[in-house]
């Protein structure tokens, strides 16, 4: 008997990587590369929303990334502020979309956290969720989930704030998750792309969704 056709993924993880390489290859500044990357992430979010995806979790910064050079972090934070204060609120309906920041807020610049918290307060829709991981460390998340599971007497997966992933997209070819939601990714379809983030098109997103549909997600069964 043939496998049944898979529907759209409900939860997609996005690891927007390779922007330093893109800047070098395109003779662009880091600031320009990351700003273009923020615009492209917004386009990808819109494309996934149109295709029925319910939740997208975006890897903005790991805790380890905070050790990068100051000029690189300045470029990331500059683009992230545009993403949080302009791109997301301008492109997504506040009554449809919600936003949540995950990570160590004490390790992030105050203005970044303030902008994220403004979005969390303003956007409370229940149809499309954007999770942003910043200063994120999987060990912190798993420790918190373990403690909550012990308190509430539930399985650790039920104690996670972020649900299980169906598909992960990384915009570089290296087959690495780099600490991205390790427990939630255990049965996700993993996509490591040759096409850089800033060169992705809507057709690329369509192709990824189509590829997901072709493979049944058995989750170990």
Answer whether residue 7 is part of any domain: no
pLDDT for 5: 44
Answer whether residue 200 is part of any domain: yes
Say if CB 137 and CB 104 are below 8 A apart.
yes
What is d(CA 32, CA 19) in angstroms, rounded to the nearest whole number? 10
Q: Classify residue 33 as left (phi > 0), alpha (psi -120 to 50) or beta.
A: alpha
Answer whether residue 5 is part of any domain: no
pLDDT in tens, 103-118: 999 999 999 999 999 9
Answer whether residue 76 is part of any domain: yes
What's the total number of domains in the chain? 1
CATH of the domain at 27: 3.40.1180.10
Answer whether residue 46 is part of any domain: yes
Look up the domain containing 103 and give its range: 13-213
pLDDT for 221: 57
Answer whether residue 85 is part of any domain: yes
55-59 and 97-102 strand pairing: unpaired
pLDDT per 10-residue tile (average), the chain, 221 residues:
61 97 96 98 97 97 95 96 98 97 97 98 96 97 94 93 96 96 95 96 95 76 57
pLDDT in tens, 140-157: 999 999 999 999 999 998
pLDDT for 66: 96
What is d(CA 177, CA 185) in angstroms, rounded to the nearest whole number? 9
Answer whether residue 132 is part of any domain: yes
**pTM recorded for the entire structure:** 0.93
Answer whether residue 24 is part of any domain: yes
Q: What are the phi and psi torsion angles at 97 (to 5°)?
A: -105, 145
């Amino acid at each position: 008997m043939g496998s049944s056709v898979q529907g759209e993924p409900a939860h997609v993880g996005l690891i927007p990587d390779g922007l330093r390489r893109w800047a070098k290859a395109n003779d662009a500044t880091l600031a320009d590369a990351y700003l273009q990357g923020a615009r492209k992430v917004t386009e990808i979010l819109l494309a996934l929303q149109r295709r029925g995806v319910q939740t997208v979790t975006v890897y903005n910064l790991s805790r380890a990334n905070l050790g990068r050079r100051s000029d690189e972090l300045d470029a990331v934070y500059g683009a992230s502020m545009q993403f949080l204060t302009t791109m997301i609120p301008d492109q997504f309906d506040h009554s449809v979309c919600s936003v949540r920041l995950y990570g160590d807020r004490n390790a992030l610049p105050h203005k970044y956290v303030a902008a994220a918290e403004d979005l969390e307060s303003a956007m409370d829709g229940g149809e499309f969720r954007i999770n942003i991981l910043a200063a994120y460390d999987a060990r912190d998340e798993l420790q918190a989930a373990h403690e909550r599971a012990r308190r509430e007497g539930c399985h650790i997966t039920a104690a996670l704030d972020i649900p299980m992933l169906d598909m992960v997209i990384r915009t570089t070819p290296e087959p690495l998750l780099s600490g991205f939601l390790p427990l939630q990714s255990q049965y996700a379809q993993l996509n490591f792309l040759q096409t850089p983030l800033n060169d992705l098109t809507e057709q690329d997103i369509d192709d990824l969704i189509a590829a997901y549909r072709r493979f049944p997600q058995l989750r170990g069964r």
